[in-house]
Amino acid sequence: MPLSPEALTLAPILVLVIVLWVTESLPLAVTALLGAVLCVVAGVAPAKDCSSDRSC
């Protein structure tokens, strides 16, 4: 079963966030915000979904 284009775009973002989180090279709050921002910039999730009280 092939992955959707959004899933293929999200995979490297997820890997990057996990690596940054585990290594703590950035503060955890910055890493969490970076993941959401990258999702919006890459077109994985609309900004409206990421800016609400639920996670994107």
Cβ atoms 10, 44 nearer than 8 A = yes
Q: What is the mean pLDDT of residues 50-54?
A: 60
The dihedral through the CA atoms of 35, 38, 39, 44 has a sign that is: negative
Per-residue pLDDT of 1-15, as tens digits, reads 788 888 899 999 999
**What is the per-residue pLDDT across 12-49, written as a single tens digit (0 to 9) for each?**
999 999 999 999 999 999 998 999 899 999 988 887 76
Q: What is the pLDDT of residue 45?
A: 80
For residue 30, the one-letter residue type is V
Give the residue extent of every domain in the chain.
5-46
Instruction: Write down the pLDDT at residue 1.
Output: 73
- Note the pLDDT of residue 47: 76
Please identify which residue in the block is written with the tokens 């910055």.
30
